[in-house]
Amino acid sequence: MKVLELFSGIGGMHFALKCSGVEGEIKASIDINPIANSVYKHNFPDVLLLNRNIQSLTPKFINSLDVDTILMSPPCQPFTRNGLQKDVLDDRTKSFLHILEILPELNVRNILVENVKGFEGSQMRELFVESLEKCGFVWQEFILSPNQIGVPNSRHRYYCVAKKGPEKFSFEVGALKTELPSWSQEICYPISDILNSSENLEPYYLEDKILRKYAKILDICHSNSKNSCCFTKAYGRYLEGTGSVFTEVSENVVKAIFEKLSVCKPDAPEYLELARKLKLRFFTPWEISRLMSFPESFSFPESLTDRQKYMLLGNSINVKVVAELIKILQ
């Protein structure tokens, strides 16, 4: 594969290509976010990385890169449940619409798109598959989550793979699928496998004001847990629905503490004393990157803050899931 990586972010698609074992080369990567680009360049210093607006790309320029495959994860905010759901009216869809507009002029044989669950019911999706059909592609859509293939994290996402005819897939295409033809359900490895004991964890423990307000509603993971909630870009700043937290305390002890908390008012001194015994902390950016299947070789530049790292990871992909999809494109 000769790949153009659009909306390249921190390099999730690039790592997925490497993880897939499929022979290929990233000919160019393009993203407008300078912080994401600094991470990409840190991990892939030799790749042609362009910091530019995708709407500025011309068919002539893309074809000059000699690519036959496009991997992309366009902005998901227009389609998220918590967003305004403006769909094609959201300015952030303009770059994706531009790619669809010039698609008939591109020498591209393979396409892989990732987006948030909910995209499958959008107007943007309708325009996308109409463009694929007009350009002679066959395609298959999926809703997949990494916990289907042994990764202890729920992150349901929309995916579409497309091949230019007369090429075909090795399976029959049709309605949206919730598993890959080659998959078999795997038992997830425990959370303990991604914990990083070498880090200074003190900054990640939940503050007292958070414990008072949110202790009872958090999704808590233990070392033996085999699932975690989807991590979003707001993780570390907001607590509800942004991802799980971790405790080294056993499940039985946590249960006993919560039984006491249930009959205790949050503003009572004993409430905070009990909540502190839960020893709840955020997962570190390093740990979340491993839950999202980034390899051991992946790292962030030292200049980035944890807040920036959480935001970038929340906007990224699960490498292992995308690697499996790339395999069926070859």
188 annotated active-site: no
Neighbours of 225 (CB within 10 A): 18
* Three-state secondary structure call for residue 330: coil
β-pair partners for 139 = 162
| C-alpha–C-alpha distance, residues 286 and 298, integer Å | 9
Catalytic residue among 76, 188, 221, 230: 76
Q: What would the two tokens of residue 222 be?
A: 């233990």
| C-alpha–C-alpha distance, residues 171 and 189, integer Å | 29
Neighbours of 13 (CB within 10 A): 28
Whether 320 contacts 329, CB under 8 Å: no
Q: Could you please report the per-residue DSSP string of 153-166?
A: ----EEEEEEEETT
3-state helix, strand, coil in the chain (%, to 5): 40, 15, 45
Whether 106 contacts 121, CB under 8 Å: no
Known catalytic residues are 76
